[in-house]
Each structure stands twice: as structure tokens, then as C-alpha cells.
Structure 1
Amino acid sequence: MTPGTAGSTVERALAAVLYAEDTAALDTSASLLAADPGADAELARRGEELLRRAWARGWQPADVERVVRRELEAHHVRLAGGLVRAESAGYAHLPPRWREQLAALEAEPWRADRFSYATAVLELYRLLVRLPALEPVAPPPGSAPLTAPVAGEARMPARIRALLAKAEATAYPEEAEAFTAKAQELMARHSLDEASLAARTHTGDEPAAIRIGVDAPYETAKAILLDAVASANRCRAVWNEAFGFSTVVGFEPDLESVELLYTSLLVQGTGAMVKAEAEQRTGGRKRTKTFRQSFLLAYAHRLGDRLASTSRRVTAAEPTLLPVLAARDVAVTARADRMFPETTTTRVRGATDRAGWDHGTAAADRADTGRAAP
């Protein structure tokens, strides 16, 4: 099979299916590809082209994996992971957090007969070609980094990570409370130290942005929790419900705090919810969905107050930094407004389950970040 013939096969297959929804077109295109093994390399090249278009439109590996997981099936996720890793291998420079996202992709390749494989690839490409533009949070891969990374440079102190890991692992609510409270206090102090250093050295730091997944179910409550964590750490969060993520804008140390703390609190809250729900079922109740929704809404609401209280307390101890922090707040707001000039406010459906609300409030109190740990 000559390269030109292979290209013709792929061209005909893609032209028939990328913008069509009917099963007949998909089956016909998959049959063309399955019958032409010489077209495999060209098909893979076209997939990499689609990914490069996605990167230019602001997407990153985690975003692609998330949307594939939401819209397609598990084997498509594995296909997408392999395609993204292959496409990203040749870049001299990758954006911040890109390598971490690549490492988190599905690593197990998917094997199937040629027709099934071609069908899945075409379904994946049909999704990729329709991805809209997103607000960019980093330059596309291949762009020269704005600043050279320092080899071995530590980011968030290991002690904070260790405290949150202990809070997630313990079966005792009082211990989780103490670990989480101390972690949030250290995060707030770390943020102040970084702001003070930037002011003294005139480094000219600018706010950055990251995307954090907000997955179903109960994504509204999870988005509220993320917003509370972001606000308490001097960041702004904007939720994209359609694609299952929030974009968080802030300075780098604060962004890492938000990412770590949100993930930890979600783990803690989910564990507490499952335990409380089991107790409710033992008592004879069956309203699982309303209980969970109300639990997580209460958990997010209460934690917002607690996190904000801790942040204010730590900041109040450093009054000389107030002008610096105010300037950073203005910079974050300005960056967020430039990225999202047309944000809208969404009405949140209220909690309807009193038991769920009460248990969620109690769980937030146990994860209390407003009191200093012993």
C-alpha cells in the first residue's frame, strides 16, 4: 500500500464520519480502515493533528481525558491516553503541570479486532474535532518556558502534604480535624512568606491559572466547595459545568494550596458522607440521593466559613503585608476578569434533606480549619 493510497483511505473515512452522527457512516468508515492496515500510521498522524489543534485552543491532557471519560467509554479513555502520550513525546518544552497530567493518564493500551478498534478511534476523533476553544491557562507545548525551572526546587512544603495525607487516612475525626487545621494554617503562612519574598525581591510575579476537575455526581456541591477553598486562599474559581472543571486563578503558591486542600477535603467529606449514610440506612431510611446532595452542600457551606476564618486569623498576624496582599488580590481579580469577561451566576438548588444537612455540617466541623492544631 503506497502512502498516497493510505492517505486517501483515511481521508475518505474521516470525511464521512467526523461531522456525521449516523451509525451507518461510522460502520462504513471503520470497515474502510479495518481493511487497510497500511493506513494505520496515517490515521495516528491525523489523531496527533487533532490534539495539536486542541492544545492551540487551550486544552491540556487532563482536560482531554476528562471530556473523553464523560462523553465516551473506558476503552476510548485508554485510546486517548496513548494518543496524548505519543503526541507529547516530541516537545522540547512542556507547560507547567503537563508532565504530571501525562503521568496520570491511562497507561494500559486497548486491544481489539481491527473493526472495533477503527470504530473506537473514529468515535474519539469525532469528539476531538468538535472541542471548542477554552480560556488558555498556559502556553501550548513546544513554547519556550517563560522562566527556567530550578533543578530540585521544592514547591509546597512536604510537611503540608504529609499532614493532609494523615487527615485522609485516619479513622478518627478529631485527628483529621487537627491535621487539616494545621495544614491550612501552614498553607496560609506559606502564602504570606511567598508574597513577602516577591515584594522584597521585586520578582514581578503574575497570577497564573489551573484547571481542577469537578466530577459528577453532585458536582454543584463540589464546585461550591472548590470555590470556598479558592476564596480562602486568595484565588478566584470559575466553574465550567459543561466540561466538568473549574478554572482557578491565583499566584502559584496559592494555586497549589487550593489543589491540595480541595482534593483532601473532598476525600475526607466523601468518607464522612458514606459513613453517615450507612448509619442512616441502618435506621431504615432510603433517600440516598437527597441525603448526599444536602450533606455535600452543608459541608461546602460550613467549610467556606471555617477556611475564611483561618485565613483572616493568619493574615491579621502580619499587618505590614496588607498592602502587598491587597495588590495581589487586585492582580488576581484583573486576570480572572480578563479570562472570563462574561461569567454568570447560577442559582443553586437548595438542600432538601435535614439529616443530610446536619451530618454535612458536623463533618465540616470535624474538618475544621479555623482552630489551630495542638
Structure 2
Amino acid sequence: MGTDFVIVGIQPWHLPLGGNCKDIALELSKSYRVLYVNPPVDRVTAWKSRTRKSGPAETLVQISATCWVFTPGIRIESLNWLPDNWLFDWLNRINNRRFAGCIRRAIRTLGFTQFNLFNDSDMIRSFYLSELLKPRQFIYYTRDNLLTVDYWKRHGQRLEPALMRKASLVVSNSAYLARLASQHNPVTFDIGQGCNLTQFNASVSHPVPADLRSVAFPKIGYIGALNASRLNINWLLALATSRPDWNLVLVGPEDDAFRTSALHGLANVHFLGSKPMADLPAYLQHLDVAINPQQLNDLTIGNYPRKVDEYLAMGKPVVALDTETMQLFADYVILAKTFGQFMDGIDKALAGEMPAPPAACIDFARSHTWAQSVAKLMQAIRSVTTLKTLTATFQNDDSVRLSSK
């Protein structure tokens, strides 16, 4: 299938923590030409960041022989504050037309003709792009239940189902999200979750990071964004206060709820802040138990926690909240539905009572590759393309038979 890909989404290419869409783009670029489009900046965001010029410089940067990153040279209007009505739709269509115009310039520069449009959950800025750009196939990708987030809920409750219905196919990274999407588009596929585990190599020895040297055994740790909508602060507080002999290590940026939480007043809780991605394996290697104390809510229930693969790839014992998606890890991770089970799980992990030996956990984590996920994506695209071709053939045959009568 010699088709190029144009990728739009909600995350810019140079986001420090990376993201699914970028990894998919890099994997696709091994076989296809890929244009990754950074989201345009709206006026409110520009105002807050004090970049109030009419628009950024439009750039097209070549990342590899077959991958380019395009930054549109426009400011779009900030619309999310508007009621969900005809005025919002009218202005949003204008935003979309301006965005599409920028993308067309990049497509012409690169000589893309037949291309697939891959939309990573950009349900507002990219709502009309399939009509405006006329791709060969339009693929909508859902990897989080964003409609549980206030920003996306305002207009997304109407727009995302409509966008899914417009798509040639919908793909997701979990069975749960695929089930939700299939209510709006029956041509929905679970393509699984890929992980880039190159840096997370248990056989590579790392020195103890300086800010971890003074933390005593046992070190119970979480590595990732500290976001109260996703993580259970109450469990972390109860863990630290009920077991003062344990040291809770938290590595990652904090939201307001974490910054103002009582965790900061506890001697056995260690906030180490954000770290470069390249440094994370060193911190992970020197934890005694890695945890994922998620909230159980509509946002997290279908979430695929990539960090669990990273934990396992480093050979760490893992204790995590039991969700539908985490059942995939049931043979390798201690799962807990209650706080009591969570604490018992940490005790077992410290005692070496894990569901599987480290080598099996490492092999399991490394089986979740982006190559595998993108192969499933391409298989889904091919199946839809074949179905469309067959349908068109049958329709043409019927037309010929009817005209000959």
C-alpha cells in the first residue's frame, strides 16, 4: 500500500515525555512517508505564553528520509468558551479551513497525492479536515476517554461521536476504548499499545541517582506525571502514614492537587521532581517496588499504563490497581482492587512473592512493540480498503446489470 500519511493530533512533536502519536509516526515512517502536523496555537494559549504575534513561523522540518514535522504558521481563534451551538460550529469551521490551508501547502511541498489522514483525538481543531483535505482513508485514534475531562467534554460529547462516524475506521489502544468507539462506528479495531523500551534495559547497570542515595530501603516508587485525576492521593497518603518504615519515592511533575497535598509534610515521602527521559531507568532500577495507584474513574478505566511495561522491562516487582486493561498484566503484576489488597501486594513484592520471575516479566513487556501495534493498524486499513473496493465493484456490477435490462 504505497500511501503517505498525514498525522494530526493534540500533542506537539517535541513534547518532553513523548506520546503514542509520535511513536506511531516514527514506526509508520519505516515503510511510508509521514507528515506529522503540530497543532496550531490558539489566541488564549498564545496570550498566556506571551507569544502574542499574529502567528508563529511556518516550518517544515525533515526528521528522517521519510518523516517531516510541520508547524502551521497561524493563530486560530479560542472557541472552547462558547456554547455548543451554531456559532461555535461556524467559527470552528473557519479555524479548520485555515488549518487545512496550511496543511495543503505542506502536502504540495512534499508531493503527497494519495494519503491517509490519521487523527489522534483532535476532535475540535481537526473536525472538518477529512472533508477539506479529502484523504484516501480517514482514521480516528482514541487512546484516552477524553470526554471525562472538562475541557473536551464541553463540545466533545457531540463532536467526538460525530467524528468517529465520519471516519473510515476507528482504532484504539485498549479493548475498553474500542468497545466505547464501536457504539459510534462499527468499523473499530483494538490495535493494542506499543512501547519504546530501548532505554529500559535491565541488563544495563546505572549508578544510584544523587537525590536517591539518602533514601533508605524499602523504596516504593512511582515514576510519571503526578496528576490527581489519574492517581489516588488518598492511597498514597494512607500508605505513607500507615507504614512510616517505608519510603515513598515520587518522580515526575506535580499538578496543583499534589503540590498542596499533605504528602509534602511527611518525612518518608520524597518528591524528586521531573527528570529527563534518559535518566528514568536509573531511578527505576534502584526502586524496590514500582507502583501504579491509579484512580478508578471513567478517564482511567480504559487507560493503558505504558509505565507498567517500563517497570516490568527493568525487572521490577509491580503492584497496580486492578482495571479491565490491567487484566492483560495479571500473570506478571500484583493487582489490587482495594487499598488493603494494595498494601498486601507491596508486602508480597518486598518478600519476592511475584506472579512471575523477572525474566518472564521482561519478555512480556518487550512483546508490546510499536511494530506490532502499527502492523495491526495497517491490517485494519487494508481490510477496510478491501471492503470498500469490493462494495464499489458490486455496486458497479449492479449498475451495469440494471442498465442492460
Higher normalized contact order (CA 8 Å, seq sep 6+, divided by chain length): 1
Class of the TM-score when normalised by the shorter of the 2 chains: under 0.3
Task: State the TM-score, normalizing by the size of structure 1.
Answer: 0.26
Higher strand share: 2
Task: State the TM-score, normalizing by the size of structure 2.
Answer: 0.25
